[in-house]
Amino acid sequence: MAVSHDAPLGETTAPSPELPQQAAPAKLVLTLAFAQFGAYLAVLTPVMVTLALRVSQIVPEGERGTALGQVLSVGALLAMLGNPVFGALSDRTTSRFGRRRPWLLGGMLAGLAGLAVVAAGSNVPTLLLGWALAQLGINAALAALTSCIPDLIPQAQMARVSGMVGVATPFAMIAGSALAQVFSDSIALAFLVPGAIGVVAVGSLAAVMKDRPARPGAFQPYSFREFLRSFWVNPRKHPDFAWNFAGRFLVFTAASCVTSYQVYFLMDRLGYSEDDVTAKVFTGTLAMVVAIVLGSVLGGQLSDRSGRRKPYVLGSSLIMAVSLAMIASAQSFGMYVAALVVFGFGEGLYLSVDMALAAAVLPNPEESAKDMGVLNIGNALPQSLVPIAAPALLAIGGGGNYGALFLFGAVAAVLGALAVQFIRTVK
C-alpha cells in the first residue's frame, strides 16, 4: 500500500472533505454491521473466554489471574498504540484500492496469523507474542472500519446506523461464547474459526464499499512529529472531543470489568468448573445481548428522532453503573444473569449514540481515521489498565473480592456519564 508523503513540512492539511449527503443503501449498512461483527468476534472471543481457558491450561491455578492480566494488558496496550497510528496511515494511503480497504484486509489477515500463534502456544511468552500480533492486526482493521461510518454515512442517518453497527458487537460476544462452547474440545479451532469469520466479514465490506484514496499532497509527511500527533488532539482547541474521550474511557473501564473477569468470577465466586463455565458464559451473554439489542434499537430511533445524544449517554451510563453494583452483590447465577440483562440494556443505549456523538465532535473529518483512532484509545486503554488494577482490587480483604472490582467499575460508569454532559456542541 502507498502512503502519501508529498506535502512539504508545515503545509496545512487537506481542503474540505467529501462528506456523504445521500442516505446509505441497505447493503452498505448491513455489510458495515457484518464487518463490525466479524472483527469483534475475532478479538472479543479470546478476551471473554478462550484466552482465560488457554492460560488455565498452561499455568498453575494460583498464577492464572496474574498471567491473564499480563497477556491482556500487553495486547490492549499495543491496541491502544496501534489504533491511532494505523488510522493516521489509513488517512494518508494513496493506493488505487482506496485508503481504507488495504488496512481492512491486511489487518484482519495479520490478526488471524496472531490468533494461530496463540492457539499453538504452550507458554505465556508465546501467548504474549501471538496476542500482540493479533491485537495489532485487528486494530489496524478496526481503525479503518471505524472511520467508514463518518466517511460513508450522512448525519441524518448516523444514530440509526451507529446503533445497527454497534449492536453487532454484542452479537459477536454471544457468537464467540457459542463457538467457544462448540469447540471446547479443540482450543485451536476456538481461536481460528472466529478469526476466519472476521476475515470473511471484513472482506465483504471491502468488496462493496466506495473507497477513495487520499489525495497526494493533502497531508504533511508522516514524520516522527506526525507519529506523536497520532495520539493527540488538543483539548483546548477541541474541548468537546476531549470530554467525549474522557466519557468513553470511563464507560469502557466499567465494561472491561465485566468482560475481562467474568470467567474467573463464575469459577471463583459461583463455583463452576472449567468444563461448565463456557456454557454459563454463553447463557449470560445470550441474555445480555437480547437486552443490548432492545436498548440499541430503542435508543437509535429515539435519538435520531429527537436530535439529542447526551441524555442517552447519561441514562445508559447510569444504568450500567446500577448493573455493576448488582454484579458486585450477586451470589447466584440467576442474580448474575439479571444483572447482565440490566447491563446489556444500558450498553445498548450507549452503543446507539456513541458513534453518532463521536462523529459530531471530530475536529477534522478528513482525518477521521486518525481522530477516531485517538477516541478508540478510550476503548483500548481500559482493557490494559483494568487487568493491571484488578489483582489489587481482588486482593482487598484477603483475596477474591469481586465486589470491589465491580464497584470500581460502577464508579467509573457514573463519572463517564458526568463527563459527557460538559460537551457543548451536541445536545
| 210, 342 contact by CB (below 8 A) | no
- CA–CA gap between residue 197 and residue 44 (Å, rounded): 13
Q: Could you tell me which residue, 129 or 166, shows the higher pLDDT?
A: 129
- Cell 454459563 belongs to which residue? 280
Q: Which residue has the higher pLDDT, 344 or 397?
A: 344
Please report the sign of the dihedral spanned by the C-alpha atoms of residue 70, residue 71, residue 77, residue 80.
Answer: negative
Where would I find the beta strands (DSSP E) of 48-147? none
Give whole-number Cα distances, 53 to 56, 58, 62, 275, in Å: 5, 9, 14, 10
CB 226 within 8 A of CB 88: yes
**Residue 8: count of CB within 10 angstroms of its CB:** 8
* Cβ contact 78:376 at 8 Å: no
Q: What angle do CA 260, 264, 270 make, to 5 degrees?
A: 130
Q: What is the pLDDT of residue 98?
A: 87
- Between 156 and 30, residue with greater pLDDT: 30
The model's pTM: 0.69
Right CATH for 26-215+225-420 from 3.40.50.970, 3.40.50.300, 1.20.1250.20, 3.60.20.10: 1.20.1250.20
pLDDT > 50? residue 242: yes
pLDDT tens across 132-163, in order? 999 999 999 998 998 888 788 887 777 778 77
Q: Between residues 92 and 103, which one has the greater pLDDT?
A: 103
